[in-house]
């Protein structure tokens, strides 16, 4: 290790420096958003540490409770949820929090209240904890416009009104991908500094990819457009090479790969789950926001994903997201089916 060179690594683009640079573009900004993001980053660092030593700390295994989705809760889920709720409330910049683990939205007490609503899945893919597969945190941020008492309507807005979205993936490295509405940037945690460093500036998803990502175990219950699309991926009729199937079963990991390499991630509705499985507010919206910011598309089978208006905080939706051309193909198949009816 070159200690001399190491001593001068102070010109790095850290996430703090990056966000402050962005803030300086808006002379009217008061730094509230920067403070909120720094608390989210702190939560991600804490959860990353907990995930890394989960086996040692006996955090693996069930907490013995079932969350609002009817899924058994892992101990890490419970811990991660507490970490983010505390970090967000203590920022003094939030008014409403919606977590996958909590049945009701959390309304922040008046003395600690700010202008932002944060929706989040504190530990997505937690069924993969025990086998060491990448898991992550997903979040989206809305802003409360007027000076009124915050209500659920401030959160039940279309995803296109989101101010920022991102995810933090806890895997071979800890990666935080963020968009504040002006492109997508990826940061990797340098454990020796305890800082997220900009490693993937201005991420752009390839216009067309060679990978499709879907749980084929559900194939017998799929609708016709999804079945046709996957058939086309495997047996293309235009002489092109078939697409490769990659499916991890952890949304953060699957979407991260799709964002970097291109292709499409599908979680369609089926006969068992007619409304799809993924939650609109804290899974579908943030990931769709990032995909569009990176030049891709996100589609529900009926409309642009970010145009959806959720009616409940834990509402679900089908989702197809990824490279622009690949999503365009599935949109055409759904349009053809509507026409044929």
pLDDT tens readout for residues 110-155 = 999 999 999 999 999 888 877 888 999 999 999 987 678 899 999 9
Cα(first)–Cα(last) distance of the chain, in Å? Answer: 66
Confirm if 321 and 265 have CB atoms less than 8 A apart. Answer: yes
Percentage of the chain exceeding pLDDT 70: 92
CA Rg value for the chain: 20
Look at residue 1 in the predicted model and tell me its pLDDT: 47
Look at residue 90 in the predicted model and tell me its pLDDT: 97
Look at residue 27 in the predicted model and tell me its pLDDT: 76
How many other C-beta atoms can be found within 10 angstroms of the C-beta atom of residue 33?
22
Mean pLDDT score of the chain, rounded to an integer?
91
Please, what is the Cα angle at 95 between 42 and 306, to 5 degrees? 85
CA distances from residue 248 to 56, 134, 308, 315 in whole angstroms, order as listed: 25, 9, 26, 23
pLDDT exceeds 90 at position 67: no
| Whether this model's pTM surpasses 0.85 | yes
pLDDT tens readout for residues 241-289 = 999 999 999 999 999 999 999 999 999 999 899 999 999 999 999 999 9
Look at residue 176 in the predicted model and tell me its pLDDT: 98
pLDDT exceeds 60 at position 22: yes
Q: Strand order in 211-213's β-sheet?
A: 244-245, 211-213, 264-267, 319-322, 297-299
pLDDT exceeds 60 at position 4: no
Look at residue 61 in the predicted model and tell me its pLDDT: 65
């Amino acid at each position: 290790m070159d200690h001399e060179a190491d001593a001068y690594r102070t010109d790095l683009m850290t996430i703090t420096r990056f966000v402050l640079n962005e803030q300086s573009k808006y002379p009217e900004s008061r730094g509230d958003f920067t403070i909120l993001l720094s608390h989210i980053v702190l939560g991600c660092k804490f959860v990353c540490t907990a995930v890394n030593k989960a086996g040692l700390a006996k955090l693996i295994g069930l907490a013995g409770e079932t969350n609002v989705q009817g899924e058994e809760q892992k101990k890490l889920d419970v811990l991660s949820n507490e970490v983010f709720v505390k970090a967000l409330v203590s920022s003094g910049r939030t008014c409403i929090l919606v977590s996958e683990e909590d049945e009701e939205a959390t309304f922040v007490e008046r003395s600690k209240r700010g202008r932002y609503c944060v929706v989040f899945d504190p530990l997505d893919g937690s069924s993969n904890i025990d086998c060491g597969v990448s898991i992550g945190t997903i979040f989206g941020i809305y802003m409360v416009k007027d000076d009124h008492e915050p209500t659920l309507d401030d959160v039940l807005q279309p995803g296109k009104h989101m101010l920022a979205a991102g995810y933090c993936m806890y895997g071979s490295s800890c990666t935080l991908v963020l968009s504040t509405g002006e492109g997508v940037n990826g940061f990797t945690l340098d454990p020796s500094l305890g800082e997220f460093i900009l490693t993937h500036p201005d991420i752009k998803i390839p216009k067309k990819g060679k990978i499709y990502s879907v749980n084929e175990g559900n194939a017998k219950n799929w609708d016709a457009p999804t079945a046709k699309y996957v058939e086309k991926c495997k047996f293309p009729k235009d002489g092109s090479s078939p697409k490769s199937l990659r499916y991890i079963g952890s949304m953060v990991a699957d979407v991260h790969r799709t964002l970097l390499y291109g292709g499409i991630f599908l979680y369609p509705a089926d006969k068992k789950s007619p409304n799809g499985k993924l939650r609109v507010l804290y899974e579908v919206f943030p990931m769709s926001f990032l995909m569009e910011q990176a030049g891709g598309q996100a589609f529900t089978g009926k409309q642009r994903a970010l145009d959806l208006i959720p009616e409940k905080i834990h509402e679900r939706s089908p989702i197809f997201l990824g490279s622009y051309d690949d999503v365009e193909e599935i949109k055409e198949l759904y349009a053809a089916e509507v026409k044929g009816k």
